[in-house]
């Protein structure tokens, strides 16, 4: 937000013109979330990316190490983007199917297969909730995130505080 103060001509007030400018801060930094390690295929992607990098003869071992890390980052970003695209509606699908099963079980007798399917869906939903909680806790950098309640008032207050702290509200002209 940029403000320009116009001269006071016919009034005892100075008009201010505000302009909202979008800023490009460059690419978003790569962040690896701990919950990714629980996803299927994570270990394989990391192993393949690490072993895929060829070492150049005569290059410094630190440069080779940097190149390996860079390759792992690129492969993990692509893998996670693919995983998140495939899993976008998974939680909603589980909830929808659970509601269907519950409605059917209320009207008719529950079969053993339906009970097993319901338990399986509940397990998958619990796993998704755990992973979401881990991601939120890591975003907040809280140590108690694994056992903390991500739906608590304190948790969301901390998240809002962190977001407010990260925003840039304005820049003063003289720098003070």
**Residue 4 and residue 16 in contact, taking contact as beta carbons nearer than 8 Å:** yes
pLDDT (tens digit per residue) in 70-112: 999 999 999 988 887 767 678 888 999 999 998 988 888 888 8
| Predicted local confidence at residue 145, as pLDDT | 47
pLDDT of residue 46: 93
Query: Using one digit for the tens of pLDDT, what is the confidence trace for 26-64?
Result: 888 888 888 898 888 999 999 999 998 777 667 788 888
* Residue 141 pLDDT exceeds 80: no
When mean pLDDT is compared across 35-39, 100-104, 133-137, 143-147, the lowest value belongs to 143-147
Tell which wins on pLDDT, 47 or 141.
47
Half-sphere exposure of 70 (CA within 13 A, CB side): 8
Determine the pLDDT at residue 161.
Answer: 80
The mean pLDDT of the chain is: 82
């Amino acid at each position: 937000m940029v403000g320009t103060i116009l001269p006071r001509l016919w009034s005892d007030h100075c008009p201010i013109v505000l302009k909202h400018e979008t800023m490009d801060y460059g690419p978003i930094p790569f962040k690896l979330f701990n919950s990714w390690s629980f996803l299927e295929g994570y270990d394989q992607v990391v192993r393949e990316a690490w072993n895929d990098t060829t070492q150049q003869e005569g290059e410094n071992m630190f440069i080779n190490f940097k190149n390996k890390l860079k390759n792992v980052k690129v492969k993990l970003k692509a893998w996670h983007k693919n995983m998140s695209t495939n899993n976008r509606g998974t939680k909603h699908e589980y909830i929808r199917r659970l509601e269907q099963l519950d409605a059917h079980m209320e009207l008719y007798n529950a079969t053993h297969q339906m009970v097993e399917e319901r338990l399986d869906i509940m397990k998958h939903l619990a796993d998704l909730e755990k992973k979401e909680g881990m991601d939120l806790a890591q975003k907040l950098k809280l140590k108690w995130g694994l056992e903390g309640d991500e739906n608590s008032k304190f948790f969301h207050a901390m998240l809002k505080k962190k977001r407010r702290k990260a925003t840039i509200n304005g820049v003063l002209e003289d720098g003070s």
